[in-house]
Structure 1
Amino acid sequence: RQRSSVSGTPIALADRRAVRQRTMGVPLTDERWRAALADLATEACNEVGTGAAIEETATLRYARTDQGIDVAIADPATMAAAFAAAHRERFGFVSDDALVVERVQIEAVLATAPLAATTVVAIDRAAEEVEVAMAGRVHHAPLHRRDALGPGAQVAGPALIVDDISTVAVEPGWSASVLDDGTLRLTRTARPAAGARADTAVDPVRLAIFAGLFMGLAEEMGSALQRSAASVNIRERLDFSCAIFDAGGHLIANAPHIPVHLGSMGDCVRHLIASRSADGRGMRPGDAYALNDPYRGGTHLPDITVVQPVFAGSDTPAFFVAARGHHADVGGTSPGSMPADSRTLADEGVVLDDVLVVAEGRLREAELRALFAS
């Protein structure tokens, strides 16, 4: 209801808030963070006054990582479940590592009483009619005065609602309604008609747009990998690459990572497709496979490639996502798994060829540890 110009009214109507945080760095099972919450709540409530609503959150992380996720305060089991769900949604996996409470936060909010509604007598017709260009054509639209619309008034688009310093355009397929406190709410009432099916001719502009979108997806893959990694090589040195491949294992897009990784990554994907099709094993949703064999598209053994098929309502993969990252050691005869005197591939470490690392969304950590210890 208030004028849509810059004024002090929003500040005066804003709720009073106080935020308090404290760094903890203790296990989730340690009760010291709950005592800290109580102290913070007292401080925040003393600042905003009595009757404040309290919102409590904790930032949790896995013990070997530094990427935290905020969850609401509850019992430890509920908080752990909420963290696992958020971590799986954000990073695509969960771990059995212990949870650490990195930080606790209290936000106290004291609501401000709303302004009293102004009584306005509604009118049934517009002040005049004007020509406006909306949705690609010219319309004869009613022009309503803002101060003549009372609570409950409805204005269907196309229409204009004006006052001394602002104009609200209600486009076709939308309607405006005046709430009890005078606020104007715009609601979509109809979806635009679907356009004609696009032709299949190559459009350079469209091609550039989709290339950018696909590259953006690969960049997001890299960002998620970096934030969730425990390895310094991944998190700090950024020695990794991410890419997207079509159903045949051909490169669709990659992030601007490391060229030597990306050049042969498609060979890894195509090898997986061929080997699992030939022996009938196939691929399942939620599975991921690891390779580092130079004869299967790998580079040197410390660079491990993980490939995951993505299914879109069919029994065969619609496309593949893959990431290749450098690991500090994979069991070579010298630290770093790059011995200068190696004579066979096995001297450099464990050779991976189509190893199932994630089965139906579960990391096969015990099996992988046994493999690298062999």
Structure 2
Amino acid sequence: SEMEDLAASPPRTRKIFTEGEWREAGIFRREALKSGNRVAGPALVIEPNQTIIVEPGWQAEITARNHVLLRRTEKKRRQAALGTEADPVMLEVFNNLFMSIAEQMGVTLQNTAYSVNIKERLDFSCAVFDRHGALVANAPHMPVHLGSMDRSVETIIRLNSGDIHPGDVFALNAPYNGGTHLPDITVVTPVFDDARKEILFWAASRGHHADVGGTAPGSMTPLATTVDEEGVLFDNFRIVDRGRFREKELETLLTDHPYPARNPHQNVADLKAQIAANEKGVAE
């Protein structure tokens, strides 16, 4: 039939990477498909404004209303993954335990923040990471923050290897090292063992500061041609050194700049709130 011929003999093919390997996929133009046609995956159905990927084990069918309907035609092959022998009950217990820590960090940050941006608009995120900077758990905060925060933690680990002590806290907003835009400042705190020798986890919080300098209020000008025109760059700044809050150095960083922060007092207050949020995570 026409449907079978279309599925078996696409106009052309191309290799695509899917399900862990390269596979030969049929290429179909959307306008050439008619009602009732079926296309078996792997295949690409190309439209003027989008491309529909039909994965292996799936089938695309053109309905009577000229819609593309995707159906699974083969049962999904499941493979046992490493670590799946864990007790599912205990796994869920610890999953909720770590997520609860991140949520409590968020409550602390909201309650202690100074700016409307963080306290009322809730533009912040908190998460817990393992000793290598991999995400362990996060609260349901801002996805754009959480998607790259692990890179910020990994940067702090890499740039301070051998020089991280109990009581240290670091700040970073560099877009080259896991940051988003400059107003999003990430505060990272190591969690040591009881002997205060080995790092077990990292607690991190990222908050959107109302302004960090730059040529325009809000530090998000589309006209910037250098990072300085966007605002003050925090790149591996040790904001707390063995328990001492480096307020003078922080104020210097915020103000000694071609385009300084417009309200450094607010920045300092919000950064203190982020440090407090991380300490809540450390305590838990």
**In which range does the TM-score fall when normalised by the shorter chain?**
0.5 to 0.7
Query: Which aligned pairs between 1:246-261 and structure 2 lie closer than 5 A?
Result: 246-261=130-145
Q: State whether residues 212 and 232 of structure 2, in contact with CA within 8 Å, keep that contact through their aligned partners in structure 1.
A: yes
Distance 2:114 2:181 in 1: 21
Query: 1:264 maps to what in 2?
Result: 148
Query: Which aligned pairs between 1:47-58 and structure 2 lie closer than 5 A?
Result: none
Greater Rg by CA: 1
Give 2:87's match in structure 1, choosing from 194, 203, 209.
Answer: 203
Deviation readout 1:104-157 (Å, 9 max, x if unpaired): xxxxxxxxxxxxxxxxxxxxxxxxxxxxxxxxxxxxxxxxxxxxxxxxxxxxxx
Q: State whether residues 133 and 153 of structure 2, in contact with CA within 8 Å, keep that contact through their aligned partners in structure 1.
A: yes
**How far 1:314 moved relative to its partner?**
4.4
Query: 2:175 maps to what in 1?
Result: 294
Query: Which aligned pairs between 1:1-374 and structure 2 lie closer than 5 A?
Result: 201-277=85-161, 280=162, 282-312=163-193, 313-374=195-256
Distance 2:241 2:114 in 1: 21
For residue 210 of structure 1, give the secondary structure of its aligned residue in structure 2.
helix
**How far 1:362 moved relative to its partner?**
2.9
Distance 2:134 2:221 in 1: 33
Distance 1:251 1:239 in 2: 20
**Identity rate of aligned residues, in percent?**
58
For residue 318 of structure 1, give the secondary structure of its aligned residue in structure 2.
strand
Give 1:232's aligned amino acid.
Answer: V
Deviation readout 1:317-349 (Å, 9 max, x if unpaired): 111000000001111111000112111111101
**How far 1:300 moved relative to its partner?**
0.2
Distance 1:229 1:311 in 2: 25
CA-based RMSD of the aligned residues comes to: 1.5
| Greater than 3 Å deviation, 4+ residue runs | none
* Superposition TM-score, scaled by structure 2 size: 0.59
Distance 1:364 1:222 in 2: 23
Bigger RCO (CA 8 Å, 6+ sep): 2
Give 1:288's aligned amino acid.
Answer: V
Distance 1:245 1:230 in 2: 26
**How far 1:287 moved relative to its partner?**
1.0
Distance 1:237 1:267 in 2: 25
Q: State whether residues 125 and 205 of structure 2, in contact with CA within 8 Å, keep that contact through their aligned partners in structure 1.
A: yes
For residue 227 of structure 1, give the secondary structure of its aligned residue in structure 2.
helix
Distance 1:272 1:367 in 2: 18
**How far 1:315 moved relative to its partner?**
2.0
Distance 1:271 1:340 in 2: 27
**How far 1:365 moved relative to its partner?**
1.5
Distance 2:210 2:248 in 1: 19
**How far 1:361 moved relative to its partner?**
2.4
Q: Report the count of equivalent residues.
A: 173
Q: State whether residues 183 and 209 of structure 2, in contact with CA within 8 Å, keep that contact through their aligned partners in structure 1.
A: yes
Distance 1:362 1:233 in 2: 27
For residue 148 of structure 2, give the secondary structure of its aligned residue in structure 1.
helix
For residue 308 of structure 1, give the secondary structure of its aligned residue in structure 2.
strand
Distance 1:205 1:230 in 2: 40
Structure 2: segments with no counterpart, 5+ residues: 1-83, 257-284
Distance 1:355 1:271 in 2: 11
**How far 1:360 moved relative to its partner?**
2.3
Q: State whether residues 166 and 196 of structure 2, in contact with CA within 8 Å, keep that contact through their aligned partners in structure 1.
A: no
Give 1:343's aligned amino acid.
Answer: T
